[in-house]
Amino acid sequence: MRSSTGRLPAALATAVALAATAVAPAAAAPSPSPLPDTGQSSAIGQASATGRDVTVLPPLPVRLGDGRPCTAPSERTATGTTWTAPVLGLARAQRLARGAGVTVAVVDSGVAPDIAGLSGRVTGADGDCLGHGSFTASLIAAAPRTDSGVTGVAPGAEVLALRGTDARGVYSAGPVAAGIREAADRGADVIYTGAALTDGRAELADAVTYATGKGALVVAPAAPDALPGQDSGADDAGGAGDTPPSGGPYWPAAAPEALSVVDFGPSGTRPDGAPAAHRPDLAAPGDSVVGSGPGGKGHYIAFGSSLAAACAAGAAALVRERHPGLGPGQVRARLLRTAYPAGVPRLDPYAALSLDTGTGPAARSAAAPPARIPAPADTGSRNTALAVSGVCLAVIVLFGAAAAVLPRGRTRHWTPPGVG
């Protein structure tokens, strides 16, 4: 009888231990440490993933006003790993693919010829007055450096630099469409552009269709970068006295075959006042993003959906290396199907490389854990849910033990205390 009655307290102790184990990770897990919302500051603190290294970086201008000099190489280097790398799971993804053998065309403001991390892997690097093309090329393909933790998504990819802007960094439909077509003719596997235009629909849609037929996936932002009234280092983010149009559609991202991408920041949300996105397919890091300036070893910090599109273009390059038999539509579908579920699905390069998507959209949830993505919801709800799960587990174990003990106890003339 002693051994039978002793099992109930033991089972209860085990249940409590299991409950404590279930709750412990929630209590021990550190809460996300998003970067401060620095808004429109002219110098922004960029924290590393460890939170120990803080470097003040200059902001990359969205556009150069008339008479302003070209953007100079940055004199500051971000030595730590930025928040975007763990969010995208780059350490795991780059063990599977690095973009080797894949060409990503950057149809933008040009690429400077002497960017650290891109040496020997850029064709057409003939200068970049604005700096945006150099910055996004580094987000896509910059290799790791001994003096910095900043790396591109596909550090083994080749970059084909083509112009889609005028000398001051202003996009227009004709150059962007011509750049997309030339990139396709020159064998690019992925074509990135930072353009988000409200005009040139037919010209840009036809260019995307042409590139898709040539085997290239076109990736573009679902919204313009400029914030209304933002002090971007230019006269005005959208031009003299202008603010960016709201609502779209924006081209070439609105073309059916293109991959349309919107930004989110370290908090998991978009900045206040950001231009409305038009039907984005994916979300990716685009706020407080660190990349190379136009030449040299220094870094800038920048904001906008064009940067998110660059991250997605890098992920597409990884997929094209890992799954070389996929066409552009299939690469696009894989990136969408393996994205982290959210209001706008969030890019997950590792899942895109590793998951079997043959069973449809549900394959992701059944096959792999979600990517480490900062969520706007607080951690209290998560901890509460884990605590409730632990208590439920304790109750299940307790009742199971009771079910085993009570019948056996009755056969030996034992009843629970308080029962006549």
Q: 3-class SS at 190?
A: strand
Q: Comparing 157 with 242, which gets the higher pLDDT?
A: 157
pLDDT reading at 417 higher than 90: no
Q: 3-class SS at 259?
A: strand
Q: 3-class SS at 373?
A: coil
Residue-averaged pLDDT of the chain:
78
Two tokens, residue 90: 């780059």
Spatial distance between the Cα atoms of 120 and 304, rounded to a whole number of angstroms: 28
Summarize the confidence of residues 26-41 as an average pLDDT: 32
pLDDT of residue 120: 95
Cβ–Cβ under 8 Å, residues 136 and 192: yes
| pLDDT tens per residue across span 318-364 | 999 999 999 999 999 999 999 999 999 999 999 999 998 764 444 45
- Point out the least confidently predicted range of 298-302, 355-359, 373-377, 398-402: 373-377
Bridge-based pairing of strands 103-108 and 44-47 is unpaired
The residue among 62, 70, 38 whose CA lies nearest residue 243 is 62
Q: 3-class SS at 106?
A: strand
pLDDT of residue 360: 46
Spatial distance between the Cα atoms of 218 and 105, rounded to a whole number of angstroms: 9
Looking at residue 124, the DSSP 8-state letter turns out to be S
pLDDT of residue 398: 46
Cβ–Cβ under 8 Å, residues 289 and 266: no
Cβ–Cβ under 8 Å, residues 137 and 159: yes
| pLDDT tens per residue across span 132-179 | 999 999 999 999 999 999 999 999 999 999 999 999 999 999 999 999
| pLDDT tens per residue across span 63-111 | 888 789 999 999 999 998 899 999 999 999 999 999 999 999 999 999 9
pLDDT of residue 72: 95
| pLDDT tens per residue across span 215-239 | 999 999 999 997 544 444 443 333 3
pLDDT of residue 390: 52
Summarize the confidence of residues 116-124 as an average pLDDT: 96
List Cβ neighbours of 339 (8 Å cut-off, separation of 6 or more). 282, 345, 346, 347, 348, 351, 352, 364
pTM over 0.85: no
